[in-house]
Amino acid sequence: MRRRVSIATKFFLTYFVITGTALAFAGVAGYVQFKRYAIEEVDHNLENQARLAAEMFRPLLMAPVIDRETIAAEGDRIGKDIHTRLTVVLPGGKVVADSAVGAANVPSMENHADHTEVRTALSGETGFSARRSITVGDEERYCAVPIRSGTQIVGVARTSIPATLLNRRLDRVRAITWGTGFAAFLLMLAGTAIRARHVTGPLEEIRKAAGEFSAGNRSIRLRLQTGDELEDVAAALNQTAAHLERTMAQLNAEKIRLATLLENLSEGVIVVADGRTVRMINHEAARILGIPIPPREGQPYAETIRNPDILRFIDAWKSGREIPPAEITLHPAGEEVTVLISGTSVRHSPEMGMDFLFTLRDITEERRLVQVKSNFVSNASHELRTPLTNIRGYLEALQDAVREGAPPDPAFLDTIHSNVLRMEDLVRDLLQLSRAESAHLALSREEIPLPVFLDRVASLHRSVADQRGKSFTVETGEDISLRADLQSLALAVSNLVDNAIRHGREHGRIRLRGSSREGEILIEVEDDGPGIPREHLPRIFERFYRVDKGRSRELGGTGLGLSIAKHIVEAHGGSIRVESRMGEGTKFLIRIPAKDPSPDS
């Protein structure tokens, strides 16, 4: 009768063989791998030391006359500092420095031209070798690198260590590896023998479930009914898996929401880790800083952020100083941007260290609007002050005349009246500009033939043009229709015609032309006046801007007409520009869509 062998015994014997084999293989593989790593580490260190020495000896070997005594003494000193044997060899194989034998014994050393590592270095590559040293009589590990002067090799720097140092390290590792492996082998066998009979089956199920959990399958559940602690363990694992599943779902949802929020913030966000690396930069911060692509996590922030003011602000926070928000001027893509940067510290836990969060808010437009508002108030005050001062002066003169019993001068009344009219014009233009600049300017669009529209505008100015001896012509096609807010667009074109009449050449000509081109209506107002200097053209549409302030006031302008025209045209979805040549004249061009830009317009 065959002897029955229990599953536990089979498990034990199988585990004995597998464990022994696995530990033996792991020990051998680990030792071989560590040996390779140790040799590579030694070679790497030797190479670094040799290259450092090569850099230090290059100036001495490039000298017109090589001072061998100085080189030998320097070799002794450097070799002592780096605790490594250092040898310097000339291209012919002559040794000029060796820290192992000392400067006094260097002249008696044999020629090294035939040594493997030196030959390799003289060929321009890094040479390694392991052999017995003729000079010191010990097995050593060598590394030699060429010392270059441009494309010429002027010498070889060689470093070496005794092989006994490497062997002692490997012997210790071998003893620890095999001793630890044998102890672990015995412990595993003892544990297996004690528990194999009772826990093999349930434990395998638990192991499989745990593997599924670690692989990300948190929906699996254990159904053990062993009546002992393993059943409790299975129940605890089930609860842990359910809780972990809920927690991971919440964390993923929060992560997605947070990432979406950060990426869509109107402010730039920079998070810097405690180790001077970037943890996160959102797209708005990348745009403000002029970075094409947000950097990856872990990249040093000094390599990403190039602005010195921002780096100083971040460094100040990292040094422990909580400095207040500051305004910084940047120049991404060649344009000037004003940014308000503020910072705060974020402490997660003592183990994770501290992060620093910085926000960047683009306040360029805010500062521009503040400046525009300031300029507007200043200019409006100045424009109002001038006629008021004139009115006051002439009224005081009239009061003096009345007190003295003299008849009032009619010219005083005419001057007061003209200044009142000037103030009325200014207030009217200010109201029109306010309506034109409104973001919710309501346009009442009507369709009309373009020739009819231009004739209506021209009729408003013909009498003034005739009085000043200027010819006024209207040119347009026959079958062109215009759809626009006729009242506001007529005001814009009238302002341009009025400018042409005021500033055009005496007895000159004014042309008002209309045409259709590529789905757009083109309206041109052209005069043959003195023209506008090139440096004034970029600012010609600013409020209260005048090319010749004195002459413009004499002619009665308020300085707001072109600004009003610009805002009305842009409200129609169009554009306005100016062309001018000194001595030849000026032409304003309005382009607006032939149809409504949107169904809601």
pLDDT tens for each residue of 299-324: 888 888 888 888 888 888 888 888 89
Q: How far is CA 395 from CA 117, 374, 391, 527, in A?
A: 107, 31, 6, 40
Lowest mean pLDDT among 10-19, 95-104, 168-177, 472-481: 10-19
What pLDDT is recorded for position 599? 44
How many Å apart are CA 197 and CA 11, to the nearest integer? Answer: 9
What pLDDT is recorded for position 526? 92
Query: What is the fold of 13-168?
Result: Beta-Lactamase (3.30.450)
Q: How confident is the model at residue 88 (pLDDT cuts 50, 70, 90)?
A: very high
Nearest to 474 by CA among 436, 500, 443: 500
Q: How confident is the model at residue 597 (pLDDT cuts 50, 70, 90)?
A: low
**Residues contacting 569, CB < 8 A, separation 6+:** 489, 492, 575, 576, 590, 592
Q: How confident is the model at residue 575 (pLDDT cuts 50, 70, 90)?
A: very high
pLDDT higher than threshold 80 for residue 485: yes
Considering the segment(s) 367-435 as one domain, its CATH architecture is Orthogonal Bundle (1.10)
What are the structural domain ranges in the chain? 13-168, 265-362, 367-435, 441-593
pLDDT tens for each residue of 123-143: 989 999 988 887 777 888 899
Consecutive H or E run containing 578: strand 575-581
What pLDDT is recorded for position 190? 74
Question: Quick check: 577 and 538 in contact, CB under 8 A?
Answer: no
Q: How confident is the model at residue 173 (pLDDT cuts 50, 70, 90)?
A: confident
Helix (H, G, I), strand (E, B) or coil at 215: coil
Residue with tokens 């260290």: 353
Q: How confident is the model at residue 601 (pLDDT cuts 50, 70, 90)?
A: very low
Same fold, 13-168 and 265-362: yes
Q: How confident is the model at residue 436 (pLDDT cuts 50, 70, 90)?
A: low
- Burial of 463: CB neighbours in 10 Å, binned 0-12, 13-18, 19+: exposed
Per-chain mean pLDDT for the chain = 80
Q: What is the pTM of this model?
A: 0.40
Q: How confident is the model at residue 553 (pLDDT cuts 50, 70, 90)?
A: very low
Q: How confident is the model at residue 243 (pLDDT cuts 50, 70, 90)?
A: confident
Hey, what CATH class is 441-593 in?
alpha beta
pLDDT higher than threshold 80 for residue 543: no
Quote the percentage of the chain above a pLDDT of 90: 8
Look at 564 and 440; give whichever has higher pLDDT. 564
What pLDDT is recorded for position 569? 87
What pLDDT is recorded for position 137? 77
What pLDDT is recorded for position 159? 92
- Burial of 493: CB neighbours in 10 Å, binned 0-12, 13-18, 19+: buried
CATH number of 265-362: 3.30.450.20
Q: Mean per-residue pLDDT for 144-162? A: 90
Nearest to 570 by CA among 595, 544, 590: 590
pLDDT higher than threshold 80 for residue 555: no
- Burial of 55: CB neighbours in 10 Å, binned 0-12, 13-18, 19+: exposed
Q: How far is CA 179 from CA 74, 144, 168, 175, 548, in A?
A: 46, 38, 16, 6, 98
